Amino acid sequence: MYSYSTIPQRFADAREVENNEDILKAFRKIEIIKPLMESIMRISNYDEGLKEFFESKDKFLRESKKNLG
């Protein structure tokens, strides 16, 4: 059996290197976006905490008005 190597197969390694570089570029972008996504998730956590704080504050103010009046 003979194995014939065509010209496109000879350049397949070069194409793989280009594809690998494209993949690496995509991963680099993900690293940049990841801290942004973490910050957005933290903001939503702060939002929930602030909501609870203001709800409890409003409840406290309503109860204190009842006690005074």
Condensed to tens digits (0 to 9), the pLDDT of residues 15-51 reads 666 777 887 787 777 656 677 778 777 887 777 788 8
Residue with tokens 């197969």: 9
pTM comes to: 0.33
DSSP, collapsed to helix, strand or coil, labels residue 2 as coil
Distance CA 60, CA 16 (A): 65
Q: What are the distances in angstroms from CA 56 to CA 49, 51, 68? A: 11, 9, 18
Cα three-residue angle 29-32-36, rounded to 5 degrees: 130
